[in-house]
Structure 1
Amino acid sequence: MASRELDSLDKRILYTLQRDARRTSSSDVAAELDVSASTVRNRIQRLEADGVIRGYHADVDYGATGHQLFTLIVCTAPIPKREELAAAAAEIPGVVEVQEVMTGEANVLVRAIGVNGDDLTRIGEELDELGLRVSDEDLIRNTHRRPYSRFREATDE
């Protein structure tokens, strides 16, 4: 997908949505950015249509649901098969996110939820069967997210 040039209003809208899209209406964004709500709605629709905004997701605290085994599994894939293997890994039950890394040996990061140690072993074995080499597994305690700061004070240059 080709990249899209963002102006300062687009960036500030993205920053505001990244803070808390669920509780932020276009009217709220408009008031904060001193533009009309229809302008914000049109910009958001264009950002969605252009693939800049890919979706709105729930940020789940898996520990609060009784699923304490939130795990980062570091894998290596052959470069020509990285994208294909990452997509296949995302289909494994228990896997919630897969990232392709462009540099280094550890080029596929898999985030998975296990209900117990046997479940994590199964996920690791399925990754191995796909052709991913698991090099490390780490239990995640907390994840901290924030909006991209350069979108907050964006100005057109």
Structure 2
Amino acid sequence: MVDDPLDNLDRRILHLLQIDARGASDTDIARETDVTGTTVHNRIGELEERGIILGYNPEINYEKAGYPMRVLFICSTDLSDRSEMAEQALDVRGVVNVREMLAGEENLHVEVVAEATSDVKQSTEQLHDLGLRVVSSDILAEEHVQPWNHFHQEVAGEDADSPSDIGTSEE
């Protein structure tokens, strides 16, 4: 159990930031949560200090950016080396994401973006040189993500079928 759990306002702020962290100002979030912009600003600062908000990262369309190949490598390593190998895999050319699996043989999932198959081959060789065994690899077609809104339905203040208006207001 967490010593200092999130309250409903924290949960609502987190959800609204997931929807549009760049476009949502403190004032926009305050309007949605019925508190002041100062309160929102302070809460976001506290969430960052507590390590709950880790950062704000852009979602990139790699294909439009000139990297049409996205490959998911399913790798295997000793469980005792998993975290160290994950850190080292981040230095491999083209690696944009490494996920550690809790257990099992296929315990590292490494996502690579590349311009061409020759780049994928180079990444494969570098992963192998680290000592990772590539169990399989798949070309990724699409990825679909959404903000997680399951703290409590009433906390988000939305019906399951209606999107938030944050970041979409007409001015």
- TM above 0.5, yes or no, is yes
Matching residue's letter, 1:139: I
Q: Unmatched 5+ residue regions in structure 2?
A: 156-171
Partner residue of 2:168? none
Following the alignment from structure 2 to structure 1, what is the Cα–Cα distance between the partners of residues 7 and 58? 27
Partner residue of 1:9? 9
Following the alignment from structure 1 to structure 2, what is the Cα–Cα distance between the partners of residues 38 and 116? 48
Partner residue of 2:125? 125
Matching residue's letter, 1:72: L
What's the TM-score, normalizing by structure 2?
A: 0.85
| 1:86 and 2:86 are equivalent in the alignment | yes
Following the alignment from structure 1 to structure 2, what is the Cα–Cα distance between the partners of residues 149 and 30? 18
Find the residue that maps to 2:109 and give its secondary structure: strand
Say what the alpha-carbon RMSD is for the aligned residues: 1.5
Following the alignment from structure 1 to structure 2, what is the Cα–Cα distance between the partners of residues 36 and 152? 22
Matching residue's letter, 1:144: H
Matching residue's letter, 2:40: V
Change (3 A) 1:119 1:4: farther
- Please give the residue correspondences for 1:126-141 in structure 2 after superposition, counting only pairs within 5 Å: 126-141=126-141
Of Structure 1 and Structure 2, the greater helix share is in 1
Matching residue's letter, 2:14: L
Q: Unmatched 5+ residue regions in structure 1?
A: none
Indicate the percent of aligned positions where both proteins have the same amino acid. Answer: 38
